[in-house]
Structure 1
């Protein structure tokens, strides 16, 4: 049973997290708009709507929505083919309606069939991409736009050739600011008296110091000064007409255009898949292991895209980069996403001239740490130790995401996982059943002979619906094989959810499928690796 959450209850954690996400999202919104061939403010509008509207409507506690790098190529081609940005906005409006329909059709349940090792491989791959893509920005080489996650870049370079180009274009001022920013970010939470300043995140201090250092370089006439393309470049409205021109509305006279509908369907499908992948990843990053209703998420994204299109914004998805930054910053509820959207709105309209003093090198330092945490070598070691049936889909997804893109990488990982499952299940039948229950009853969940990741959705739904203060018996007496995904789900339920919701869990018969080591404490067990 899901608890109702007061989104204002964790402001001491959510405000600094929202501030960090705002600093990360600002250049990404601008960079993606620039690469999409759209007005720069369209990226900001999408970020604001994604933060405030989708953040409020979504049931996800830590995911953050905004313009996505994965849609850049689609948007660029669509604007060119449709001939006008207002016609393109009509397609975005229709895409939002289609996503809303997908939510009511409960298409979001497809996310339950994404294997955990594939999701983790996707996150590790994105972590490597973020890290490698930020190295040029960290040393003052800003030819590629901020937020580009594709291996092959629009300037003809790729992720690795770009690193070679950097060697002849290193700017010492940017390197100094990056190093100082990294020192602040890494040491901030290791200094005892600074830990008490929870409302002042290290990222904000790094940005302030970065601005101050660069202003000092400029005023002293030093060659270390960072100028032009190496700074955030937000448009600065100066008159009422400037503000008025920011808002572009859809041209609904083009609604009968067949090409508009093709673009709408393309955006709806791609944006929905990317959102579901990110939501599954966000639930993995949530330390409380709270599950998100993905059908509600599709509805929220649909409403977000409808509103974004009416205001002149780009299409949006839930985005891994911002979500991982949010999780790493300690966000506890969706209030952090809303705060990030409010900060984008207020700062873009009120203090753009201040934001334009931020060196991209400082923001690169923040993202370097985000990338490292996503692609920590310990994750690769963890899946290697789980055996080939877990490691091969993980590493293939990881490499495919790095060298192609998110969707192709995940598709390859799922195909490999399905092949392994079909091989193991070819001659085995699976039956899942649970007894009906009321509050206070003893709940019995009996697992069948074969429990694969394809059964994850039913088991996940059952565990999520168990009321507080219950007694649960999970019986694996007849089980000869249980997938790692389902086992992890049961482990997390026993370790975290049972503790938070006072649910007593008894495990029966797991020794036949997995060895159980009794820790000596009542009703507590440790799962160890299956011998395949």
Structure 2
């Protein structure tokens, strides 16, 4: 029997507990993400406060946590660096302007009901983008963890400089950073076996070690020490720096360069990447919701856009529905959007009344948390998982990663999409068929509809198929017949599988048939399928 929907009024006790536990995770991550993005540390907290206190009431997906995310560090830092031309403060204010305009674009997306935007982008490209972001985060934060200022700026050069930083590490700072990293990975491993540890946030354990060590090493005062005949310096620059009060942290955008090509590039990236990540998180949290509630993705995108508009105008980072904090929120027992509100409220109260405690946090500990997040994004398991889905998926995934690392996020995603489309064309899909699916609809009887898809069912034309399915929201039994397709790609297989689960949660049935004459390109159940021919080609497929 399906549980009855719960209201905030009846669940506030569960939500205040989950909100508090998520606050403990969010506090150090917001600080670290802001600093890694070239923003003042308090900017991350400001964004999370807006995401919790404001966006919660604007239609935000019930169990998601809104706030800054590691996945947008690369874009934010790039905006500050390129728009500032060497002036960090100017770059910060001009980056705020791109966030504000990008937020307006997100609001337009929501009003145009483009909440299904996330379904367009191929899974291998999205995962490749996230893996590249993870690598970039690690490349930058390893040096902070070791207490060394690298000379390189580009990702590949930063990776190459890691051995040099290891040789020149600051022993006290590196000790704090490395042990914090060990605590985070150790907590993750042990919590899988000891259930009670799942209720204790890993970042909190890292801070319980790092803050006392910072006091022991007297990082609050500039001084030198000798280790193995070498002299090293430490001081407040290795600690988080916050303004005396929250009001003094408010910074307004500089719109003087907002219509330049560079600004437009970052506006597009903030709007697209932020929207995609947020929508994917909302969909994932719906799958985890024990009450099987479905979020209105257009309203969630609207809430995110308004939150970004306010945060950008006040000096904050861009926000999304963040997947790690959102999943932790559900695991901690959240029942409604009040948990997001409480998480933002706790952050506001903490910064308003005890900011001096935040100043005690060593930057190396924050770097450890960001490296931990980066490794999760670029986990070797993700590479193996993609390869098992299909060699062609791994090629697209790897190509997206490589181009992103060599150029930027927008170029990487575009390159991945183009490569995937080319693979489809090589394998028999027509150019017109890529974007315009041939779908024949038949109603057999009341409550039974069959959609017959011809030629190709691929990521570029899936939105039309999904739209046609949405027109039958009241039909109990829907069939998607793929018998006459030459090619069904992994993205469509994955999306149809998600829709099968969604139909099931609604007490309906979606049946996908007609793949008996198709060849699976790997042993994975959701791998791409290509129709068997008398003489099969050996070309790539996707």
Match of 2:538 in 1: none
Q: Secondary structure at the match of 2:450?
A: strand
Match of residue 487, structure 2, among 481, 487, 490:
481
Residue of structure 1 equivalent to 2:533? none
Question: Which ranges in structure 2 are unaligned for 5 or more consecutive residues?
Answer: 228-232, 531-540
**Are the equivalent residues in 2 in contact too, given 1:393–1:413 (CA < 8 A)?**
yes
Q: How far does the alpha carbon of each residue in 1:168-189 deviate from its partner, in whole angstroms, 9 at most, with x for none? A: 4312233333343344333436
Q: Structure 1, residues 18-62: CA drift from partner, whole Å, max 9, x if none?
A: 432332111222443xx36xx664554334324443455354454
Deviation at 1:166, TM superposition (A): 0.9
In the other structure, the counterpart of 1:403 is: 406
Q: 1:231 aligned to 232, 239, 247, which one?
A: 239
Question: Which SS does the other structure have where 1:510 is aligned?
Answer: coil
Contact between 2:142 and 2:162, CA under 8 Å: does it hold in 1?
A: yes
**Aligned mate of 2:456, from 450, 458, 480:** 450
The 1:404–1:270 alpha-carbon spacing in structure 2 relative to 1, beyond 3 Å, is same
Shift of 1:315: 5.6
Q: TM-score of the superposition, structure 2-length normalised?
A: 0.75
SS across alignment from 1:447? strand
Separation (CA, whole Å) in 2 of partners of 1:295 and 1:281: 12
Alignment partner, residue 107 of structure 2:
100
- Spell out the pairing of 1:44-63 with structure 2 (5 A cutoff): 44-57=45-58, 59-60=60-61, 61-62=63-64
TM-score (norm: length of structure 1)? 0.76
Alignment match, 1:318? 320
1:390-469 equivalences under 5 Å are: 390-423=393-426, 424-426=428-430, 429=433, 430-434=437-441, 441-461=447-467
What is the aligned-residue RMSD (CA, Å)? 4.4
Matches within 5 A, 1:282-321: 282=281, 286=285, 288=287, 295-310=298-313, 312-314=314-316, 316-318=318-320
Unaligned runs of at least 5 residues, structure 1: 145-149, 238-242, 518-524
List per-residue Cα deviations over 1:430-485 (Å, max 9, x = no partner): 312455799x8234343333211123223445667776994443322333321111
Tell me what 1:367 maps to: 370
Match of 1:382 in 2: 385
Structure 1 CA distance, aligned partners of 2:149 and 2:330? 30
Secondary structure of residue in 2 paired with 1:276: helix
Partner of 2:34 in structure 1?
29
Alignment of 1:73-472 (within 5 A): 73-75=78-80, 96-106=103-113, 109-141=116-148, 152=154, 158-188=157-187, 190=190, 195-196=195-196, 198-218=198-218, 227-237=235-245, 244-248=247-251, 259=257, 268-279=267-278, 281-282=280-281, 286=285, 288=287, 295-310=298-313, 312-314=314-316, 316-318=318-320, 323-324=323-324, 326-327=326-327, 337-423=340-426, 424-426=428-430, 429=433, 430-434=437-441, 441-461=447-467, 470-472=476-478
**Compared with structure 1, are the counterparts of its residues 197 and 436 closer, same or farther at alpha carbon in structure 2 (3 Å cutoff)?**
farther
Deviations 1:308-332 (A, max 9, x none): 355x32462438xx54465478667
Distance change (3 Å), C-alpha of 1:137 and 1:84: closer
Q: Deviations over 1:170-209 (max 9, x none)?
A: 1223333334334433343626895225543122122112
Q: SS state of the match for residue 432, structure 1?
A: strand
Mapped contact 1:282–1:324 kept (Cα < 8 A): no
Distance 2:124 2:359 in 1: 40
Q: C-alpha displacement at 1:420, in angstroms? A: 1.8
Contact 1:19/1:204 (<8 A) preserved? yes
Distance in 1 of aligned mates of 2:196 and 2:487:
48
Number of positions where the alignment pairs a residue of Structure 1 with one of Structure 2:
495
In 2, Cα distance between equivalents of 1:166 and 1:83: 29
Residues in 1 aligned to 2:499 and 2:320: alpha-carbon distance in whole angstroms: 25
> Do 2:110 and 2:301's aligned partners in 1 also have CA atoms closer than 8 Å?
yes
Pick which of 124-133 and 94-103 moved more: 94-103
Q: Is the 8 A contact 2:239 2:361 kept in 1?
A: yes
